[in-house]
């Protein structure tokens, strides 16, 4: 009897210890490893030469840029768009910085909001836009509005301006006249607005990018999407690119409805691979339907694994794999297995049309 009691106590102790260990695992330390033995693609580079329509001025030195070009060659990245946010000397400096590699990098400028709030400030802004165009700007962006109406730019952000503000119309019309597309980030995805609790399936990422709506006058997700739609509708000659699938990854119908109505609207998929890869059939069907309006982009520090993961998600049929270190989310990802003709449009053909690489 004594031996039985000791054995039971040992089993109970071991069971309790296992429970305690499990209960002590913190979400930030959770790193699941897939045990599925499914086929895995071995992608070495993009299936077609790529135009990356969403990147930034990540590089500090000429040597950094040299290394980036080598990586672009290896990954089959033909050209990268650099969103500088800059005007004035800042933009000129960025142009000079990447000038060693004509055709490999295209520089996009910001808007100069100097004098905003005083009558006629747009005259100076339009003049600076024209100057940046002559200096080599291929577009404007990335503008951004997460509810406060900043439309960020350097050195002077447009604090209090939303993209559909009537004061923006002269600038947007000038973009049309100069054939400069406007790239704009509005809102964040739905997870970033949800309560930060155990029901939020994007918690690890949403905690980082959480949008605080407890601020007077701040626009929420739907209102920001509406501000974009207003600007697109009221400026039909201006090409708009909605960054990050218009931050509507949890409900792509929001973007689909706008794409159906406005031929001057496009969207990039930059930094939203992890948001669409958990729903591969839904996402692939959407991308295939709107294959003429979507653009490849990265919006991440250039490194080999990052590029290869984007190609894996777009090109492969891989199942149930994790990229927590790259994307933070704890959910499994799946390849979209897009057809070759669709990939070619996403990777380059749509960008060529927008940028008028070919007549």
CATH code for the structural domain at 45-326+340-355: 3.20.20.140
Predicted model pTM: 0.91
Q: Which of 326, 248, 313, 312 is nearest to 277 (CA)?
A: 313
Residue 135's pLDDT is what?
97
Secondary structure (DSSP) of 131-192? HHHHHT---EEEEEESSS-----BSS--TT--TT-GGGHHHHHHHHHHT--EEEEES--GGG
Instruction: Count Cβ atoms below 10 Å from residue 253 Cβ, excluding itself.
Output: 10
Taking the C-alpha atoms of residue 64 and residue 275, their distance in angstroms, rounded to an integer, is: 30
First-to-final CA distance of the chain: 91
The pLDDT of residue 9 is 45
- Interaxial angle between packed helices 121-135 and 88-97, expressed in degrees from 0 to 180 and rounded to the nearest 10: 10
What DSSP letter does each residue of 298-339 carry, written as one string? --S---HHHHHHHHHHHH----SB--HHHH---S-B------
> Which H/E stretch holds residue 275?
helix 273-276
CA torsion angle 300 345 145 215 (round to 10): -80
Measured distance CA(263)–CA(164) in Å, rounded? 18
Structure confidence at residue 106 (pLDDT) = 98
pLDDT 10s per residue in the chain (359 long)? 444 444 444 443 444 444 457 788 888 888 899 999 999 999 999 999 999 999 999 999 999 999 999 999 999 999 999 999 999 999 999 999 999 999 999 999 999 999 888 999 999 999 999 999 999 999 999 999 988 877 767 766 667 789 999 999 999 999 999 999 999 999 998 888 888 888 878 777 777 788 887 887 789 999 999 999 999 999 999 999 999 999 999 999 999 999 999 999 999 999 999 999 999 999 999 999 999 999 999 999 999 999 999 999 999 999 999 999 999 999 999 999 999 999 999 999 999 999 984 33
């Amino acid at each position: 009897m004594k031996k039985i009691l000791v054995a039971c106590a040992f089993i109970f102790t071991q069971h309790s210890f296992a429970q305690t260990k499990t209960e002590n695992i913190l979400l930030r330390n959770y790193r699941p490893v897939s045990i599925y033995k499914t086929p895995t693609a071995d992608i070495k580079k993009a299936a077609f030469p790529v135009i990356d329509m969403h990147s930034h001025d990540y590089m500090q030195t000429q040597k950094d840029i040299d290394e980036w070009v080598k990586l672009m060659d290896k990954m089959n990245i033909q050209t990268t768009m650099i969103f500088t946010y800059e005007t004035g000397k800042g933009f000129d400096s960025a142009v000079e910085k990447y000038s060693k590699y004509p055709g490999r990098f295209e520089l996009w400028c910001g808007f100069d909001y100097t004098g905003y709030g005083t009558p006629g400030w747009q005259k100076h802004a339009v003049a600076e836009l024209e100057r940046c165009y002559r200096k080599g700007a291929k577009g404007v962006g990335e503008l951004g509005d997460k509810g406060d109406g900043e439309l960020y730019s350097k050195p002077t952000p447009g604090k209090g301006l939303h993209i559909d503000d009537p004061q923006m119309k002269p600038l947007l019309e000038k973009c049309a006249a100069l054939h400069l597309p406007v790239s704009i980030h509005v809102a964040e995805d739905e997870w970033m607005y949800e309560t930060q609790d155990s029901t939020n399936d994007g918690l690890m990422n949403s905690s980082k990018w959480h949008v605080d709506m407890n601020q007077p006058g701040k626009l929420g997700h739907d209102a920001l999407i509406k501000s974009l739609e207003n600007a697109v509708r009221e400026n039909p000659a201006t090409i708009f690119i909605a960054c990050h699938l218009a931050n509507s990854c949890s409900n792509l119908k929001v973007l689909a409805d706008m794409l159906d109505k406005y031929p001057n609207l496009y969207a990039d998929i930059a930094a939203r691979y992890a948001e669409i890869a958990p729903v591969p059939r839904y996402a692939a069907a959407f991308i295939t339907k709107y294959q003429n309006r979507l653009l490849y982009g990265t919006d991440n520090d250039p490194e080999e694994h990052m590029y290869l993961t984007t190609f894996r998600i777009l090109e492969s049929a891989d199942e149930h794999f994790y990229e927590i270190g790259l994307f933070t989310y704890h959910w499994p990802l799946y390849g979209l297995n897009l057809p070759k003709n669709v990939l070619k449009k996403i990777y380059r053909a749509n960008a060529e049309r927008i940028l008028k690489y070919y007549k």
